[in-house]
Structure 1
């Protein structure tokens, strides 16, 4: 298919370089516009499939102004920018571009980003058409484990309904403990793949030396210790959905192979031959992948291949009206499990929960209710013990709350200091943390705990 591209860029050398790259790759370049007004005239006359759009242009209007019009016209666009101003970039992201090409341009980056942008736009249009063709009644069973009627959660559920019927990739964003896997399961149950496997994979929990084998499988004898053939997670999920939780933890070398799976729809087990697969990918992360890209820890092309339809889950502190129904749900679950006649929580206990900041989100609430049910002898939970909220500074200002990752790093550092940075053996950090030494080393690497401190580890 021939793709028509409009370049809106006021720097002649950069625009001409882009035009040469595109023409050599087989694209049709409509024209080069140097202002928004000029660009909009070309859009009306030539109806491009995709627009490469600089942010700063000649005239009073910016590329962000033009982007809003392009979105109304349903024309895909990518930003061309060397601008690192945070406010401008935030405003640009609100227009929902299909990506950013950062100056100076490299031919490979330009072509990859164009390919991803056009693919993503095409997939989005298919999803919208599918939704318009059919709006079947959604069974409540789809959301049976998703509790909440707050406005932000209603918006999340509407997004799940929109994307569920399609087959495009979904990226679920949100803090740890917000229920990302439950949302992934809801998407799967709404899809045409609902009768096929749903395979969850926690990328953070996989040992670094086994990730490739876990995902792609291996043949018998492929490496030392491979006594039997292993079917990888992708083949296990054939014709179904593979949920890649904590995708931001995946090593760079595996990101390359995952991108190939998405592009080629095939896997290559260790020691084996390539095999075609048919899977839908849903990924999730509590990391800011754009920051990870800037640090060189996550591939830009994989990000845009996964980020076709992003869904952001709110933290529990952002949906406090859902705390009461969530608490009631967990009380019912654990009271039934423990065979206790508990029916709810006292009003003052609920108020205490509403005033708490819930850094661990729904998972923390679930664990807290489980503990309360065990300790309660009556029919109402009337006592609750919450962690101290040490988030107020000496001048009364609220200090930034630490993420789960930051807390994990602090905990590991504390244990390492206690053990004088001894990792292996009796009394070592791995033993105290109840982790295998190689797993601890992997976590330290991911958390940025440098090896330069390991001089005391003689094991």
Structure 2
């Protein structure tokens, strides 16, 4: 069923044009409001599903003021604006709209944006409902067992575990973002194990490893004789995952022509085998990438409509260098794992080894740490690891004469946070505080201040 829409726009011709576009497409336009007070009254009386909202309106109150009320009422909204200044858009983004339409806009742009906005809103509603019913799905012991492979006590990882608990019971798409080696596949497996699909298949596909000429056949399957060498019918990865979960790692590597077909699969929940047979499927999709998708979108290498379909519930995995509290915990975990595997009794790392582990930058993240611990266990001759062969480039180095010292990421981050705190007179909270200026949660900023040893 199409959403019921309220248009909040103070230009008569533009409001009427929008109404005609929407009604031709089958939407019900409950009303047109030309100011915030009128819009609030209509919202109270009509309960629209979605609001098209001009940022600049007549009167003292703007569209951004109305957006705050819409968020409280959990009503989806899309901004309209002829002003594309970065300063205005940055303020508007803080209200978490479901999309932007910059005037003048085409009919197709309006309809695609509304379709995506409504899809995202419905999925977020499903996530909230599933969160409320989660307690009956798994007991605490089963839940802990399902997440046993995700190691970490840092605030970042505790937030990650909580987000997994929220999203796992639903069927909504999940997009996992993070550098190589941060554990994106572990998170995908954990989501599947906690989900109601846990007794069905989890099929993992590395999109970067698929031969370009066989991607379509690998994902969707093919019929016998559909191309040279197709001697038998082949079932693709989507059909293998029917009833369960399909994890598409490195989704950013998919070519554009395949992205179009993949978008159709998400929309229609059916695939077309190479050779013509259409098959209905029931698959939950989790995707991951180490690419910066904002840059990929800007360069035209990734489709915006597919991004929105996947990005219903994004999970950002922090790099290991931003999880200082977890580094030694992970190192000890891998030490126990590989000591048992090699049938050795190794109890700990020497103090100087722990210090070097903490000072290293970890460009390869958790995967690099695991590999280095495994190698150290193999080479260890006693119960204590006294040697840890870190790569030559370390986070902290002694400068050679005449060399300019290169700061680590943590040092640069520390300097930047201090400069912002000084600018805010060391105020963390409030509209004029550092957290607002940095656009991060207050708890995250406090955690960074503590971790980086920042003092006034």
Q: TM-score when scaled to structure 1?
A: 0.81
Q: C-alpha offsets along residues 24-65 of structure 1, whole Å, 9 cap, x if unaligned?
A: 112122333444444333322322110122334445544333
- What corresponds to 1:309 in structure 2? 313
Aligned with residue 357 of structure 2, among 353, 356, 364: 353
SS in structure 1 opposite 2:213?
coil
Structure 1 residue 157: Cα displacement? 0.7
Looking at structure 1, the residues matched to 124 and 265 of structure 2 have their Cα atoms a distance apart, in angstroms, of 20
Mean CA deviation greater in 29-38 or 170-179? 29-38
Cα RMSD after superposing both structures: 2.4
Looking at structure 2, the residues matched to 202 and 59 of structure 1 have their Cα atoms a distance apart, in angstroms, of 54
Contact in 2 for aligned 1:99/1:304 (Cα 8 Å): no
Q: Does 1:289 align with 2:298?
A: no
What runs of 5+ residues in structure 2 fail to find an aligned partner?
411-456
Q: TM-score when scaled to structure 2?
A: 0.81
Aligned residues: 401
Contact in 1 for aligned 2:54/2:81 (Cα 8 Å): yes
Contact in 1 for aligned 2:359/2:396 (Cα 8 Å): no
Mean CA deviation greater in 39-48 or 137-146? 39-48
Looking at structure 2, the residues matched to 34 and 400 of structure 1 have their Cα atoms a distance apart, in angstroms, of 49
Q: C-alpha offsets along residues 409-438 of structure 1, whole Å, 9 cap, x if unaligned?
A: xxxxxxxxxxxxxxxxxxxxxxxxxxxxxx
Looking at structure 1, the residues matched to 295 and 53 of structure 2 have their Cα atoms a distance apart, in angstroms, of 22
SS in structure 2 opposite 1:209?
helix
In structure 2, the CA distance between the partners of 1:377 and 1:56, relative to structure 1 (3 Å rule), is farther
Aligned with residue 398 of structure 1, among 381, 389, 407: 407
Q: Does 1:107 align with 2:116?
A: no
- What corresponds to 2:129 in structure 1? 129
In structure 2, the CA distance between the partners of 1:46 and 1:311, relative to structure 1 (3 Å rule), is same
- What corresponds to 1:161 in structure 2? 165
- What corresponds to 1:219 in structure 2? 223
SS in structure 2 opposite 1:275?
strand
Structure 1 residue 81: Cα displacement? 4.4
Q: C-alpha offsets along residues 170-220 of structure 1, whole Å, 9 cap, x if unaligned?
A: 111122211111111111111111010001111111121111111001112
In structure 2, the CA distance between the partners of 1:395 and 1:8, relative to structure 1 (3 Å rule), is farther
In structure 2, the CA distance between the partners of 1:60 and 1:250, relative to structure 1 (3 Å rule), is farther
What runs of 5+ residues in structure 1 fail to find an aligned partner?
402-459
- What corresponds to 1:381 in structure 2? 385
Q: Does 1:276 align with 2:285?
A: no
Contact in 2 for aligned 1:391/1:400 (Cα 8 Å): no
- What corresponds to 1:428 in structure 2? none
- What corresponds to 1:46 in structure 2? 46
Structure 1 residue 114: Cα displacement? 1.4
- What corresponds to 2:118 in structure 1? 118
Looking at structure 2, the residues matched to 151 and 305 of structure 1 have their Cα atoms a distance apart, in angstroms, of 28
Looking at structure 1, the residues matched to 274 and 86 of structure 2 have their Cα atoms a distance apart, in angstroms, of 43
Contact in 2 for aligned 1:266/1:277 (Cα 8 Å): yes
Contact in 1 for aligned 2:361/2:408 (Cα 8 Å): no
In structure 2, the CA distance between the partners of 1:59 and 1:391, relative to structure 1 (3 Å rule), is farther
In structure 2, the CA distance between the partners of 1:10 and 1:296, relative to structure 1 (3 Å rule), is farther
Matching of residues 412-451 of structure 1 within 5 Å: none
Structure 1 residue 97: Cα displacement? 2.5
Structure 1 residue 87: Cα displacement? 5.0
Structure 1 residue 108: Cα displacement? 2.0
In structure 2, the CA distance between the partners of 1:320 and 1:281, relative to structure 1 (3 Å rule), is same
- What corresponds to 2:250 in structure 1? 246
In structure 2, the CA distance between the partners of 1:290 and 1:100, relative to structure 1 (3 Å rule), is farther
Looking at structure 1, the residues matched to 232 and 333 of structure 2 have their Cα atoms a distance apart, in angstroms, of 44
- What corresponds to 1:9 in structure 2? 9
Contact in 1 for aligned 2:359/2:395 (Cα 8 Å): no
SS in structure 2 opposite 1:135?
helix
Contact in 2 for aligned 1:98/1:304 (Cα 8 Å): no
Mean CA deviation greater in 61-70 or 223-232? 61-70
Q: C-alpha offsets along residues 113-141 of structure 1, whole Å, 9 cap, x if unaligned?
A: 21222222122222322322341324211
